[in-house]
Amino acid sequence: MALGNGSFMTQFILMGLTDQPDLQLPLFFLFLAMYVVTVMGNLGLIILIGLSSHLHTPMYFFLFNLSFVDLCYSSVFTPKMLINIISKKKIISYMGCMTQLYFFSFFGISECYVLTSMAYDRYVAICDPLLYNAAMSPKACSSLMLGSYLMAVLDATTLITCMLRLTFCDANTINHYLCDIHPLLQLSCTSTHIIELEVFIVGGINIIVPSLTIFVSYGLILTNIFHIKSTEYRSKAFSTCSSHIIAVSLFFGSSAFMYLRPSSVSVDDGKISSVFYTNVIPMMNPLIYSLRNKDVKLALRKTLRMRKF
């Protein structure tokens, strides 16, 4: 399984979510169904926004990017996860593991900043509508997305550089369903204190800063909503914002539980938490941000009507 010579590990074994044989088939169909819904929802939204000219606005530009990130994010690990559930050999190569970790980190960090940009967009739209066209110009939106992806490249590269410095000896069973930071840290046979500190700093920046920005933005939005005289508009705006806040809280809360903790904490608890930000949130985002939206429903009806003719 391994060469047993420091970091020259050739492959790892992914333990998966559970090792109970009776649960493997139900878990396979559950995560397969979730992945199908995730792909159909996010890919459908990408196509719909691309085809519908009246959805070419800043809000849907950010939603387009969120769907793209979620689609790629889930696809980094879910196909391998599904194969491993029904396979006896749950093996992943060392380079395959590091590659998976890099893209998993890249798209995960990208999502943090795309969600931040979306919250800022809603803040400007509701709290400073007169400045909206200037503040959210095409150049400004493109700059926000470019900045999000550059931050993701920088931080994912920093994280993978830290992980490549780990030394592995004989233990090669990863107590997880994907190659993640803390399970790999627990396999290292040398001191990981410096690397843990570096991971904590990078993770803290990418979780705490965006989440604080998002919650402050939505706090200001909710304060503004309470001053709206129209009861109907106020309840609609509050309902929309509350669903967004729930989705963001689940994503950042479960991420913080996994990454802003010492590696000595049990990975088993982290695996359950990981399901939320790796599987549940990418599946829910298209439903939360679009299905309750009249513009998306109208665009969908128009697209379907065009296909009939």
On the question of pLDDT at 4 being above 50, the answer is no
Q: Which of 28-37, 68-77, 296-305 has the lowest mean pLDDT?
A: 296-305
Q: 43 falls in which pLDDT band (50, 70, 90)?
A: very high
Q: 76 falls in which pLDDT band (50, 70, 90)?
A: very high
Mean pLDDT of 65-91: 93
Q: Which residue has the higher pLDDT, 306 or 256?
A: 256
Beta carbons within 10 angstroms of residue 202's beta carbon: 20
Q: What Cα–Cα distance (Å) separates residue 63 from each residue in 49, 56, 111, 206, 267?
A: 9, 10, 11, 20, 32
What integer pLDDT is reported at residue 1 of this predicted model? 42
Mean pLDDT of 149-176: 90
Closest CA to 118 of 58, 172, 187: 58
Q: Which residue has the higher pLDDT, 285 or 229?
A: 285
What integer pLDDT is reported at residue 137 of this predicted model? 93
Residues in Cβ contact with 67 at an 8 Å cutoff, skipping those fewer than 6 apart: 41, 42, 43, 45, 46, 49, 285, 286
What integer pLDDT is reported at residue 277 of this predicted model? 87
Q: Which of 91-95, 225-229, 247-251 has the lowest mean pLDDT?
A: 225-229
On the question of pLDDT at 22 being above 80, the answer is yes
Give per-residue pLDDT as tens, 261-299. Answer: 765 556 666 787 888 889 999 999 888 877 667 777 777
What integer pLDDT is reported at residue 65 of this predicted model? 96
The position carrying tokens 């706090």 is: 219
What single-letter amino acid sits at 249?
A: S
Mean pLDDT of 209-224: 90
Residues in Cβ contact with 75 at an 8 Å cutoff, skipping those fewer than 6 apart: 39
What integer pLDDT is reported at residue 154 of this predicted model? 96
Query: Considering the entire predicted model, what is its pTM?
Result: 0.89
